[in-house]
Chains A and B, each alone.
Chain A
Amino acid sequence: MSWFLFIVLSILTLGGGLGVVVTRNVVHAALFLLVSLVAVAGLYLILFAEFLALVQVLIYGGAIIIVLLFAIMLTRSAEYPRISDNRQWPLAAVAAAAVGVVLGAAFLDNSLPQTEPNSPTFGDLANSLFTTWAIPFEVASLVLLVALIGAIIIARTGEDNR
């Protein structure tokens, strides 16, 4: 059962990913990305990481895709329906494949003793996050704040155009 789900979700993930990098239409690419990200959330569920799956759907599937779609809309360009790749794409393909092979081979070459997939409870997660990882957590929130302010300042129109 889990194999079946894994294969289906893998196909969706990789298919979505391929769609993002292959399609000639930017909007299509965003939708393919959505498919891929949601499929990844499904994969998290197979791994019993319910919280992460939830976060994945909310932030990626929701916020990030929306932001991307907004950006596409705001920067609407005549070539968006038929964008082209740059000249080095064949070499890029080879290099990317090679990187994939290198990573895959590295993983397969170093198999680790492993247990059944299990998952912490929400409580454990929360405890760890707010005790052991408290400072990184606060830093992350600061990063978010700075990014928010930075984004506003960068994207703002108005007096800086004078």
Chain B
Amino acid sequence: MEWAWLIPVLSFAAVPVIIVLGRFLTGKVSHRSAAALAIAAILGGFIVFWFVFAGFLAADTDTPGCETGVGTEALTCNYKLTWFEAGIPDALTDSFDRIHLEWGILVDPLTIAMLGLATFVALMVQIYSLGYMHGDPRLDWYYAFHALFIASMLTLVLADNFLLLYIAWELVGLCSYLLIGFWHERPEPREAAKKAFIVTRIGDVGLLVGILLLWSHVGSFSMLETFAAIEAGELSEGVVTISALLLFLGAMGKSAQFPFHVWLPDAMEGPTPVSALIHAATMVAAGVYLVARAFPIFSESQTALYIVASIGLITALGAATIALVATDLKRILAYSTISHLGLMMLSLGALGYTAAIFHLLAHGFAKALLFLGAGSVMHSTEELDVRKMGGLRKVMPITAILFSIGALSLGGIPILAGFWSKDEILIAVNKELPLIFIVLTLLTALLSALYMARAMFVVFYGKFAEQFEHVHDAPKTMSITMGLLAIFAIVFGLVALDLPGPFKGIGYFIFYHEGHGLEFVIWLAALSIVLAIAAFIYGYMAYARKSVNLEGARQRFALPLKVAEGKYYIDELYQWSIDRVVLSFSRFIAWIDRALVNDVGINGPADVTRLLGHGLRRHVTGYVYSYALAMALGLIGLAILWWIVST
């Protein structure tokens, strides 16, 4: 288990090797070696993960480095190595006079879960990319960025101190920038990448401020020490709330919570495997992970929890409505991701720690599958507008089936993974939050089933779009990876049940405070099953069979529809405020710098000196008679002076 650090380091190590090899090898050799290296690195990580997992299940509090976690009975193992120190090293009196930074890893159930998800999805995506990105001229860079991306994400989930987490956090942001903007020749990916980086960076400011605020009260960046200090009540209620909210600001940026969700749909401009990675395993999961990781802080502040839940619900509902009317297949999936991330945040806000992580995992597998499916469609048809598609199952049956599994899973059809995790969230919300929350959550669940049905039926079922006559199904590398993901999307939900063996079921593995078995509220489960099935049946009627006419509804709800299709005009608002406020302000400041600080403040004295010189030299006329006059005036002046003095 001490070797868990190998998981990210393998991928990190692959990065410079790929880049350097890329300079010396050319063409296909370089591409193949790059792909092989990256895949080998992540495969190695995946294998190490299983050893770590096994080691963790076998470990107890007697294992070196392991003890019971803070605020939870779960086992937490911590291994560290000094990185550097700054300030006065042996200041015994005041621990705030120095910082002691470590490369440290923290292995606990949350980390294990995230490691498993990230390594597996990344492995699948990288293999898938072999087919999808085939022939791209910069494949070596693609794999280098990929390896860096996943390595950063793995570091993020392993970090045992906030600073290391922040470092990985920023690297994740950078890699998303590089990968979203991978096709930088076109302006849209370029802009989308910039947007993603800057929007998440705004959240990062909150994160960094929060981290430093915690440090300035605890004197350490270590998570465990921080949690212990908070649990011991060393920090005031206000500080805890504020730092929790600041951390949440970072999470909002990365997990695309309202109002920072705008970058995620635009990020669809990147290559589709990258979207799959971002949506399922890395970037957006980081926000949810952060809130879960810092749960001892959040759980101390009821206010913070409420805000987390509210933001989550707003995001979930808003994004679900947009997903229902979006026309771009990848954007439907993107808004669906936002919506589900909102559900996870909602769940965390409702103290549904297990449910949130469970849903993160279940959603991760399903969403990766969906994106790879969408990528497969796009790869074959080079079309993304769902209105132009239809009946594609005739030409790409494998993709159709696999995509459908993902959609059904995410839509909450029983026995598939999504059903179980969604059910847990509903239970948590029902238990902790007011009635309005559960009603809206159920509405979101309905909507999410509906838009998944729409995406699935419109694209793959119904009337066949003739222009796709000659389209082929996905190549093997792509379909095999999708198949593996589909297996997980089907069976992963079963971990919710109480299982025999050391694992015992997810409720006994990932938990806050203390473990618990499967909870099942019959009426809620029944209601969600009914809603999901009804949504899919309705979707089939409306989108595949076309037996339900939607035109009437469209006309009746013209205005709300327009608003939803306009994505609630949040992008426009941002654009306006950036163009009109930020950039104008910047120009204003630049003008101030030129006109006031420079031309008045700095050039001013110089100009005054010069003008003074110009003015004063006029009195030196060079005319004899002027001097004579000056002498006469001087004489008069002296006389007057003498007269004044003498009288």
Q: Which residues of A contact B (CB under 8 A)?
A: 86, 88, 91-92, 95-96, 98-99, 102, 106
Q: Cβ of B626: which chain A residues have Cβ within 8 Å of it? A: 88
Compute how far the CA of A151 lies from the CA of B146 in the bound complex, rounded to whole angstroms: 100
A-B contact pairs, 14 of them (CB 8 A): A88-B626, A91-B629, A92-B625, A92-B629, A92-B632, A95-B632, A95-B636, A98-B632, A99-B632, A99-B635, A99-B636, A102-B635, A102-B636, A102-B639
Interface residues of B (CB under 8 A from A): 623, 625-626, 629, 632-633, 635-636, 639
Chain A contacts for B629, CB-based, 8 A: 88, 91-92, 95
B interface, over-half SS: helix
Closest B-chain residue to A88, C-beta based? B629
Within 8 Å CB of B632, what residues of A?
A: 92, 95-96, 98-99
In the bound complex, CA of A86 to CA of B629 (Å): 12
- The reply to whether B625 and A98 form a contact with Cβ atoms under 8 Å apart is no
A99 vs B632: C-alpha distance when bound (angstroms): 7
The CA-CA distance from A44 to B629 in the complex, in Å, is: 30
Partner of A86, one of B625, B635, B636, B639: B625
Min CB distance A105 to B, Å, is: 9
Please measure, in the bound complex, the distance between the C-alpha atom of A6 and the C-alpha atom of B428, giving whole angstroms: 129
A95 touches B625 (CB 8 A): no
Query: A92-B629, A102-B639 are known contacts; what are 15 more A-B pairs with Cβ within 8 Å?
Result: A86-B623, A86-B625, A88-B626, A88-B629, A91-B629, A92-B632, A95-B629, A95-B632, A95-B633, A95-B636, A98-B636, A99-B632, A99-B636, A102-B635, A106-B639
Residues of B close to A92: CB separation below 8 A: 625, 629, 632
Chain A residues lying within 8 Å of B625, measured Cβ to Cβ, are: 86, 88, 92
Contacting residues, chain A, for B635 (C-beta < 8 A): 99, 102
CB neighbours of B623 from chain A (8 A):
86
CA distance A155 to B130 in the complex (A): 106
A98–B636 alpha-carbon span in the complex (Å): 7
Provide the bound-state CA to CA distance between A92 and B627, in Å. 11
- Shortest 3 CB-CB contacts between residues of A and residues of B: A95-B632, A102-B639, A98-B636
Q: In whole angstroms, what is the CA distance A95 to B627 when docked?
A: 13
Which among A88, A91, A95, A99 has the greatest number of chain B C-beta atoms within 10 A? A95
Min Cβ gap B395→A in Å is 101
Identify the closest chain B residue to A92 (Cβ). B629
Report the separation of the CA atoms of residues A105 and B24 in the bound assembly, to the nearest whole angstrom.
Answer: 105
Residues of chain B lying within 8 A (CB to CB) of residue A96 = 632
Q: How far is the CB of A86 from chain B (nearest CB, A)?
A: 6
In Å, the complex CA distance between A140 and B439 comes to 124
**B632 and chain A: residue at smallest CB distance:** A95
Inside 8 A of A95's CB, which chain B residues have their CB? 629, 632-633, 636
A135 to chain B, nearest CB (A): 30
Chain A residues with CB under 8 Å of B636's CB are 95, 98-99, 102
> Once bound together, how far apart are the Cα atoms of A99 and B628, in whole Å?
12
Bound Cα distance A92, B635 (Å): 13
Nearest-Cβ distance from residue A44 to partner chain B, whole angstroms? 27
* C-alpha gap A82/B562 in the complex (Å): 93
CA distance A91 to B635 in the complex (A): 14
Q: Which residue of chain A has its CB nearest to the CB of B625?
A: A86
Report the separation of the CA atoms of residues A95 and B635 in the bound assembly, to the nearest whole angstrom: 9
Write the nearest CB–CB distance from B76 to chain A, whole angstroms. 96
A149 to chain B, nearest CB (A): 25
User: Chain B residues near A106 (CB, 8 Å)?
Assistant: 639
A91 to B625: give the CA distance in the assembly, Å.
Answer: 11
Query: B636's closest neighbor in chain A, by CB?
Result: A98
Docked complex Cα distance between A96 and B635 (Å): 10
Q: How far is the CA of A1 from the CA of B211 in the complex (A)?
A: 114
- Within the assembled complex, what's the spacing in Å between the Cα atoms of A58 and B629? 32
Q: Which residues of B contact A99 (CB under 8 A)?
A: 632, 635-636
Cα–Cα distance between A95 and B639 once the two chains are bound (Å): 12
Residues of B within 8 A of A91 (CB): 629
When C-beta atoms are compared, the residue in chain A nearest to B633 turns out to be: A95
Name the distance in Å between B643's Cβ and chain A's nearest Cβ.
9
Chain A's nearest CB lies how many Å from the CB of B227? 89
B residues less than 8 Å from A88 (CB atoms): 625-626, 629
Docked Cα-Cα span, A158 to B633, in Å, equals 43
* Alpha-carbon separation in the docked complex, A99 to B629 (Å): 11
> Min CB distance, A145 to chain B, in Å?
27
* B423–chain A nearest beta-carbon distance, Å: 103
CA distance A150 to B258 in the complex (A): 100
Bound-state Cα–Cα, A106 to B643, Å = 10
CA A98 – CA B634 in complex, angstroms?
Answer: 11
Shortest distance from the beta carbon of B303 to any chain A beta carbon, whole Å = 82
A53 and B625 alpha carbons, distance in the complex (Å): 31
Q: In whole Å, how far is B639's beta carbon from the nearest beta carbon of chain A?
A: 4
B contact residues around A102 at 8 Å (CB): 635-636, 639
Query: How far in angstroms is the closest Cβ of chain B from A22?
Result: 16
**Complex: A98 Cα to B623 Cα, angstroms:** 22
Docked complex Cα distance between A126 and B511 (Å) = 135
